[in-house]
Amino acid sequence: MSKAEFDALLSPCMLAGGIVLNNRVVMAPMTHSSSNPDGTVSEQELAYYARRSMGVGAVITACAYVNKGGKGFYDEFGADRDDLVPGLRKLAETIQAAGAKAILQIFHGGRECPPELLPDGQPVSASDVAPVRPGGQTGPAPRPLTEEEITGIIADFGEATRRAIEAGFNGVEIHGANGYLIQQFFSPHSNLREDRWGGSLENRLAFPLAVLREVKAVVAKHAAMPFIVGYRFSPEEAETPGLTMSDTFALLDALAEEGVDYLHVSLRKFDSLPHRGTEDSRPALRQIVDRVAGRAPVIGVGSLYTAEAALQALEETGADLVALGRPLLIDPDWVQKVEEGRAADIETELDPDGQQRLVIPQPLWNMLVNTPGWLPMRGRA
């Protein structure tokens, strides 16, 4: 296919707040465990992002914890204190120097935080419901957060946003997906509270909306220029009770009413079918786009290794943008190849000898090559 046939991917996209992205491709947020142990941004991390920022319209960074009790990954960088701003500024400048908008994903891991990474060794959440790990094993039971702690964490999301503004980022993405703290409050599986933060659907929405309002208030106070506020969410949960498409539709309505610059769907495959909470048999992403109904751009994601697959995702679901994660690990030149009419040259399998060429930090490389099924690997069945 020629470059012209990919115009739907390469055309500019205006976000709800007026900021324009150069094209419809964004780099998805991916944990890389390559920051410095003290939470600062590392040189290898900067090189990794520099290699992948050329061509995409925006880069959504790996998640940054908003306080030490929310650190979810080894060697994750933080946004929880002011002395981290200089490193964050380097990261923003690195991304922007390549022509992409820089978006800092901010997060609290809640009950998913490894105890050994926490100051007191105790994960926290909405309630004391232990997480279920792959294979059926349960993790440590979290401690329910107090009212004071909840309001403190909401303020921490605001402070992390202030630091992102001071560091020169173009925006933040609130991480309300993948089973982390914000989703834990929204989920009927993990939130068994009987106060104003739990129980009814309206009460379970209270924490996500409070975080969004705090972030937007900080932006209104501190940002001298337009600043992106996005929100990432997971449409469904496997548990019963758990989040269903019906819950997600309510969340989307509430977020759209509050006002967000984009909504980012977390899916393994862009054409995943819904399981519960809707009578519609179409892919979940298509239903989400219809529910949002143009109130904010929607970012779709999920196993889009080729330009043809990304184009198909846009056309079939109606999403406004596509997020590429694993494809940009395999081929950082993905967008440039499309722009140059060389979409057929996009690599779709990881080169097992390509670490230096691909500029992938050692911790992330170890995860990629030692985790079967994570990425298509050249030479592996």
Query: Of 44, 109, 83, 8, whose CA–CA distance to 315 is shortest?
Result: 8
User: What are the backbone dihedrals phi and psi of residue 62, each rounded to the nearest 5 degrees, phi first?
Assistant: -60, 160
Q: What is the pLDDT of residue 79?
A: 98
54-91 confidence digits (pLDDT tens): 999 999 999 999 999 999 999 999 999 999 999 999 99
* Residue 23 falls inside a structural domain: yes
| Strand (E) or helix (H) holding 380 | none
* Residue 164 falls inside a structural domain: yes
Which residue pairs, CB below 8 angstroms and at least 24 apart, start in 337-340? 337/307, 338/3, 338/6, 338/9, 338/10, 338/307, 339/3, 339/10, 339/55, 340/3
Position of tokens 């891991």? 109
* Residue 379 falls inside a structural domain: no
Instruction: List the structure tokens of 311.
Output: 């184009």
- The pTM for the full model equals 0.97
* Residue 378 falls inside a structural domain: no
Instruction: Report in angstroms the alpha-carbon separations of 291 from 183, 271, 287.
Output: 20, 16, 6
CB of 208 closer than 8 Å to CB of 251: yes
240-254 confidence digits (pLDDT tens): 999 999 999 999 999
Instruction: List the structure tokens of 51.
Output: 């290699």
CB of 105 closer than 8 Å to CB of 60: yes
144-180 confidence digits (pLDDT tens): 999 999 999 999 999 999 999 999 999 999 999 999 9
Query: Of 283, 279, 203, 290, whose CA–CA distance to 252 is shortest?
Result: 290
| Euclidean distance between CA atoms 325 and 346, whole angstroms | 14
Q: What is the DSSP letter of 189?
A: T
Which residues are tagged catalytic?
180
Instruction: List the structure tokens of 216.
Output: 């937007």
Burial class (CB in 10 A: 0-12, 13-18, 19+), 315: exposed
Q: Lowest-pLDDT range, 6-10, 329-333, 369-373?
A: 369-373
pLDDT band at 380 (very low <50, low <70, confident <90, very high): low
Q: Lowest-pLDDT range, 46-55, 104-113, 129-138, 211-220?
A: 129-138
* Residue 381 falls inside a structural domain: no
Complete DSSP assignment for 309-357: HHHHHHHHH--SEEEESHHHHH-TTHHHHHHTT-GGG---SB-TT-HHH
175-201 confidence digits (pLDDT tens): 999 999 999 999 999 999 999 999 999
Sequence letter at residue 258: E
How many structural domains are present in the chain? 1
Position of tokens 């009578």? 279
Q: Which domain holds residue 117?
A: 3-370
Complete DSSP assignment for 110-162: GGGS-GGGSTTS--EESSSPPPBPTTS-B-PPPEEPPHHHHHHHHHHHHHHHH
Q: What is the pLDDT of residue 1?
A: 59
Position of tokens 């500024």? 89
8-62 confidence digits (pLDDT tens): 999 999 999 999 999 999 999 999 999 999 999 999 999 999 999 999 999 999 9
CB of 287 closer than 8 Å to CB of 273: no
List, in order, residues 6 or more apart from 380 with CB less than 8 Å away.
none
Average predicted confidence (pLDDT) for the chain: 96
* Residue 198 falls inside a structural domain: yes
With 60 as the cut, is the pLDDT of residue 381 above it? no
* Residue 380 falls inside a structural domain: no
List, in order, residues 6 or more apart from 191 with CB less than 8 Å away.
126, 127, 184, 185, 197, 198, 204
Query: Of 80, 208, 195, whose CA–CA distance to 146 is shortest?
Result: 195
CATH number of the domain to which 190 belongs: 3.20.20.70
pLDDT band at 301 (very low <50, low <70, confident <90, very high): confident
CB of 314 closer than 8 Å to CB of 279: no
* Residue 375 falls inside a structural domain: no
pLDDT band at 369 (very low <50, low <70, confident <90, very high): very high
